[in-house]
Amino acid sequence: MSRDLPWPTDLPASARERLERTLAPLPEHRRTTFALRVSRWWADLVDGLSPYPDPPAVAARVLELAAAAYLEREDDLHLLDERRSLEPDWFQRPGVVGYAVYAERFAPEGTLAGVARHADHLRQLGVTYLHLMPLLQPRPAPNDGGYAVADYRRVREDLGTMADLRALTRSLRGQGISLCLDLVLNHVAREHEWAQAARAGDERYRRYFHVFPDRTVPDAYEATLPEVFPDFAPGSFTLDEELDGWVWTTFNSYQWDLAWENPDVFCEIADVILFLANQGVEVLRLDAIAFIWKRMGTACQNEPEVHQLTQALRAVSRIAAPSLVFLAEAIVGPNELVHYLGQGRHHGKVSDLAYHNSLMVQIWSMLASRDSRLAERALSRFPQVPSTSAWITYLRCHDDIGWAIDDDDARSVMVDGWAHRKFLSDYYSGEFEGSTAEGLVFQHNPATATGASPAAPPASSAWAARCGGSTPRSTRRASRRPPRPWTWRSPASCSGMPSSTGGAVSR
């Protein structure tokens, strides 16, 4: 005899009826599990949707998407959900080792099927977490290294198909390896179907983007917006003739920022998350998450709504696919970074993982300066993060290094923050006397480099450090060097790490 499902008491009756119709084909224990999860996460979902005028209505909409995804979820993924619910600390365990790779470069075949055939090799290396760099269908080049996504539901044709992706995740699970994929939250390619519909005059999809008839509002925003790519994509807005307006493009002119203040956008991305979870993806790297909410008079990064909406997305995934975890790609200053793992009202309710970019920056700072005092100061004052979360520690990744040195931390050890950031950029580009590094300065901002904005780094550097070697070279020569912030000692060998780093860095 069927029993009433344990829905939350404040779930609207109409929503309850729609959910029960969707779930009707499932056995009773599956329907009961879904209802119990809704009861557990309903409050977090509604609270996270508070940026919208009617949070319960948006929550009811997204629950229907969750129910549809839950209905389609394969049995082995339901089993994984149950296992991970009993072992929620699986990604915090000391044996977890991450490995990031481009699929086309990892296997001789250059395909997802080729990666699957080498899953046993990854396991022999001790890998338990595999991050495959962008593989969802991008626009034709240039495409920001694959981060200009034209279709969230297709794999790059040169790598295979969605069926190949599902086969890969099954193969990896058999070896005890979790797959991580990139999900770009802030923008889509202008070739994406949403952008194409907007260009064709569909008002619904035009509201998916920030579009302005003239430069009045864009100019007001740009008074406080930093430029991400000042060298080759200056400004944050692009005139599109087919759209007949200025569209927000934080990164490149072909990457259109999504208007997250529109609840339709939230529901679309939630549906994409559930779709990818049903392909067997276990970790989603939330790319460009810091940029999703816009507010006039700010830098439009790290706004409170970012964390509210992340909480809501996490609640949705916990209902339909609780084995999925979120990795925040928030390469921001230390004071903002901890919020992506949850502080205050969002404690333990947002991303499960975050890159410890501050540790990465401080390691390279110590290597260049031969001094650990700044690192000791900066790392010792990090707020406590939730016990249910974890840092991904790393030395380098595919991105440039933004020298996230806090001015207050620098002052506390008698160092000028601006000068030290400039020193690091010069050191790792080979500009600094005695440096053997051969890195390239990336996206140097002349206004910042001259000290117009001393709180921000003068440059980022994409570089490869090397001991010895040929004459140092750099893409750019500074016309004037600031005073050296550290007492220089002769360069040391690259074979050691300062003892104050507290141990080896994994990944």
Kindly tell me the sign of the dihedral angle through the C-alpha atoms of 199, 194, 266, 221. negative
Rounded-to-integer distance, Cα 420 and Cα 367, Å: 13
Instruction: Return all residues near 411 (Cβ < 8 A) that are at least 6 apart.
Output: 417
Is 282 catalytic? The answer is no
Q: List the one residue out of 39, 38, 37, 58 whose CA is nearest residue 49.
A: 58
The catalytic position among 144, 191, 257, 287 is 287
Sheet with 401-402, edge to edge strand ranges: 401-402, 460-462, 440-442
The catalytic position among 329, 352, 426, 431 is 329
Assigned token pair, 28: 């009773």
Phi, psi angle pair for 351, to nearest 5°: -75, 150
Maximum alpha-carbon separation in the chain: 81
Q: What's 209's DSSP letter? A: B
Owner of token pair 């979360």: 389
Phi, psi angle pair for 211, to nearest 5°: -120, 135
Q: List the one residue out of 250, 99, 107 whose CA is nearest residue 176.
A: 99
Q: Do 346 and 340 meet the contact criterion of CB atoms below 8 Å apart?
A: no
Rounded-to-integer distance, Cα 504 and Cα 393, Å: 10
Is 287 catalytic? The answer is yes
Rounded-to-integer distance, Cα 194 and Cα 204, Å: 9
Residue 286: Cβ within 10 Å count = 27
Q: So which residues are the catalytic ones? A: 287, 329
